[in-house]
Amino acid sequence: MAVMSPLMNDCFLRALRRQPVQRTPVWLMRQAGRYLPEYRRVRERAGSFMRLCTTPELACEVTLQPLERFRLDAAILFSDILTLPDAMGLGLEFVEGEGPRFQKPLRQISDIDQLPIPDPERELRYVTDTVRLVRRHLSGRVPLIGFSGSPWTLATYMVEGGGSRDFRRVKGLLYEYPRAAHALLSKLAEAVALYLDAQIAAGVDAIMVFDTWGGVLSAAHYRQFALAYAQRALEGVRRRGGEAPVPAILFTKGGGQWLEAMAASGYDALGLDWTADLGEARRRVGHRVALQGNLDPLVLYAPEAVIRTEVKQILQQFGPGSGHVFNLGHGVDPGVDPARVGCLVDAVHEFSPLFHQEGP
């Protein structure tokens, strides 16, 4: 287990636990990425996205870059959700203009039966080494977030072979071979739990599960094939996490209609995309979980006056009190001007203390 430096800024962790804070913490999904010129320089130096992900020194460098520009309350490990299926033998590659693609997608039931569950400290050692390196460089400045794709989201890429518009193959698996789908998701839940547990042991302060494609499912299938296995992965982490486990966030893109079920899943916080009303979400989940989000990422193309207005509206939607982590409803778009990101972060710092004042 990594030796933790005392945190100088624990605002993010306190908000996840719905404890009092002096202002709303802020971090951004994909805060280290192509919109930053310094990231693009390191990416060019690495030669490929996979080399960037698998070289701890470079992954550490880009993880820390946003903290040098912006007053963020958390760092998020620079990696990719598909490193786990890659470690399971599917052969991940990133094709320019096309995105991720697997050389050996799951095409037969026997492919699922033969899938190994990787040892994170062996097949994914570059990830845990990056965590340890980032922790050393952070020196307790802010918390570090580790993450994984959800079992369902990983399964979609593994069965489709990459991105998809209609998810025909993986949905066909659910309808025609549900037992095989459950077998795949069960393996992935175990692999995700081991992976997150290894990140915690290496030093992350919180974990996030990205269920990017949960929203493409029907309500019944979401509960059966997405939420159930995200919950199982968390339970696997909790079994090994001792009496004080790190906070866990579940983000389901397009999942606003299932907030009550998500709030009952055991996660400490729910990430919301920009289509959800934050105030309504807070009323629906009550005090069971914290909420993270949920500014439309494309607002960052607007003038700074508009960004400030939109930030204030998000804060007003949530209302007074703790339990809110400000974020986008998805990742920073690659074409965004970094100055717009700085405007967003500064606006949260400026406006949010008004929502955390002690009563008379």
pLDDT tens for 172-220 read 999 999 999 999 999 999 999 999 999 999 999 999 999 999 999 999 9
Catalytic residue among 10, 80, 197, 273: 80
pLDDT at 164: 82
Q: Are 332 and 341 in contact (CB under 8 A)?
A: yes
Q: Are 163 and 92 in contact (CB under 8 A)?
A: no
19 is in an annotated binding site: no
Which string of b and e fits 242-252 if b means at least 16 CB within 10 Å? eeebbbbbbbb
pLDDT at 358: 67
Which of these, 130, 132, 168, 147, lies nearest to 52 by C-alpha position? Answer: 130
Spans of the chain, pLDDT less than 50: 243, 359-360
34 is catalytic: yes
Catalytic residue among 18, 23, 43, 101: 43
267 is catalytic: no
Which of these, 20, 13, 10, 2, lies nearest to 206 by C-alpha position? Answer: 13
Strands 92-95 and 99-102: antiparallel
31 is in an annotated binding site: yes
Strands 248-252 and 99-102: unpaired
pTM for the full predicted model: 0.95
283 is catalytic: no
Strand order in the sheet with 248-252: 75-76, 144-149, 206-211, 248-252, 269-271, 290-295, 324-328
pLDDT at 305: 98
Instruction: For the domain made up of 11-356, give the CATH fold.
Output: TIM Barrel (3.20.20)
pLDDT at 100: 87
